[in-house]
Amino acid sequence: MEYVYKTKGVCPSQIKIEVDGDTIGKVEFCGGCNGNGKGVAALVKGMKASEVIARCKDITCGSKGTSCPAQLAKALVEITEK
């Protein structure tokens, strides 16, 4: 199933996520640093959502209280709680 998560406090405006059960399929960051978004998406493909949440939830970007990986973790928390 595909989900769209509206981000807060980061450059990308949204993250498109395909999840099959607890396994991440495709991730696409819409906006922001193209290479970093593609890199994170490639690294998490095939991983369990719970593992990505645990690894990424507390990552910050500069002085921001969040980051693109942290926003992905928040999105995955919402998706897995449904």
5-35 residue pLDDT tens = 999 999 999 999 999 999 999 999 999 999 9
Q: Whole domain around residue 18: which residue ranges?
A: 2-81
What's the structural domain count of the chain?
1
32-46 residue pLDDT tens = 999 999 999 999 999
Evaluate whether 28 touches 39 at the Cβ level (below 8 Å): no
- The pTM (predicted TM-score) of the whole model is 0.95
First to last CA, the chain: 12
